[in-house]
Amino acid sequence: MNMRAALKDAHRERRSRSRAGNAAASRSLTVAMVVEAAGGGVAVHLADLIPGLAARGVDVHLIATQDTDRFDAQCIKPEHLSLCRSVTRVPMRRNVGLHDLASFMHVARALARIRPDIVHAHSSKAGVLARACPGPWSKVYTPHAVYTLNPTLKPSARCVYGAIEKLFGRWLTHRLIAVSDDEARHLRDVLKIPGERIATVWNGVPEFETLDRKEARRRLGLADDAFVVGLVGRFAFQKGVDRLVAIAREVGQHLKEEVQFVCIGSGDFAATAGAHAHSLPENIRVIGAVPQARRLFEAFDALALPSRYEGFPYVYLEAVAAGVPIVSTRVAGADALVTAHETGVVVPNGDDPGPFADALIDLATDTPRLARLRANCLSAAAHFTADRMVDETLAVYRQCINRKTV
């Protein structure tokens, strides 16, 4: 073969690859979402991601747990499910056991029926089950706070969970989506997952309506003149519910009833509130689960997030979108949003309630500073939109497809 013929053949091959890539980019993608823990931030994420992808022409299929306690139907509503090409409910449990073999078979059969281009698994259990299923599809995984970020893990547990994440991340994942730079660094530097397999897609929220301050406080039974601190999220050890009780007690010793704490979320508050669960300070009001809780954020003067670990909490974004300053422990995403955009105060991640209580007392007694932080929140919200999150997630899918066609 002469040089000219070789060049022509090479050119034809490049054009063929380009056409294949363009065809993959132009046709509709089929994505199977697999989720076991469809509550809290994961539920919020799916409630934004599913309609966003559907609006962009993606065929979305949902494979979710049958366990109603692990599927937040108040967040992932029938209108979200109606946008899916199919919804398959399979037996999946949080705890590890022999039942996982049956769960694996159910997920594998569902994926074989759907034959998606992309399998996108969310959180740890679904992440293992879905990525273990053999098939021609690309595998994407979003941990939503990889479990090894948990500072309270025992060394033995950290070793086991870390080994699983490392094994699956290296060999059974085309792209691993971190929801913050902190989580991405942990995946790369601690779990040693290759950086080229990691994409960072920050969470984002759509615009949402809030009730005005007076109406929101009326619904929550709060006085107009109180300084109100909100805790919104699952009532779980991870979220630091026990820490909040100690913080509220500490604040109450200085400002008595001038500062009120309101706790909104799902789960058993008493079971996670620590040793003093049945003798809560008078400045705490436990509301429980509230549909569309972010509509009530105008009732808050500050948001408390005393979590032990996070990936990048949605409640951060809901707070800044509503103009509510944040006081948070130093968890993944805290410095990127709270510190960098000056939307609140970040304190050490520990069980000592003093620094957290001091930060809240400072905000409650410094009106000009509180006003500055509120303004900063509204400016920061523009950087964390649901549209951007959906577009960047779709770009990750396209990268996976293009790797197969080029």
Measured between alpha carbons, how far is 119 from 137 in angstroms, rounded to an integer? 7
Written as six digits, the tokens of 133 are 């299923």
> What amino acid occupies position 149?
L
The residue among 109, 147, 114, 145 whose CA lies nearest residue 33 is 114
Farthest-apart Cα atoms in the chain, separation: 90
* Minimum mean pLDDT range among 96-100, 166-170, 258-262: 96-100
* pLDDT number for residue 404: 65
Written as six digits, the tokens of 76 are 């992932």
> Tokens 């070793």 appear where?
159
Question: Over pLDDT 70: what percentage of the chain?
Answer: 93
Written as six digits, the tokens of 345 are 């105060």
- Place 26 in a pLDDT band, splitting at 50, 70 and 90: very low
> What amino acid occupies position 204?
G
pTM: 0.85
Measured between alpha carbons, how far is 169 from 187 in angstroms, rounded to an integer? 9
Whether the per-residue pLDDT at 5 is higher than 80: the answer is no
233 near 211, Cβ under 8 Å?
Answer: no
Whether the per-residue pLDDT at 15 is higher than 90: the answer is no
Output the average pLDDT for the chain. 91
pLDDT tens digits for range 308-354: 999 999 999 999 999 999 999 999 999 999 999 999 999 999 999 99
Full 3-state SS string of the chain: CCHHHHHHHHHHHHHHHHHHHHHHHHCCCEEEEEECCECHHHHHHHHHHHHHHHHCCCEEEEEEECCHHHECCCCCCHHHHCCCCEEEEECCCCCCCCHHHHHHHHHHHHHHHHCCCEEEEECHHHHHHHHHCCCCCEEEEECCCCHHHCCCCCHHHHHHHHHHHHHHHHHCCCEEEECCHHHHHHHHHHCCCCHHHEEECCCCECCCCCCCHHHHHHHHCCCCCCEEEEEECCCCHHHCHHHHHHHHHHHHHHHCCCEEEEEECCCCHHHHCCCCCCCCCCCEEEEECCCCHHHHHHHCCEEEECCCCCCCCHHHHHHHHCCCCEEEECCCCHHHHHHCCCCEEEECCCCCCHHHHHHHHHHHCCHHHHHHHHHHHHHHHHHCEHHHHHHHHHHHHHHHHHHHHC
Whether the per-residue pLDDT at 22 is higher than 80: the answer is no
Measured between alpha carbons, how far is 23 from 299 in angstroms, rounded to an integer? 50
Written as six digits, the tokens of 215 are 């109406």
* pLDDT number for residue 23: 41
Q: Which domains, and CATH codes, for the chain? A: 25-205+386-405 (3.40.50.2000), 213-383 (3.40.50.2000)
* pLDDT number for residue 27: 60
Sign for the CA dihedral angle at 98, 104, 106, 109 comes to negative
Measured between alpha carbons, how far is 316 from 286 in angstroms, rounded to an integer? 20
Whether the per-residue pLDDT at 18 is higher than 70: the answer is no
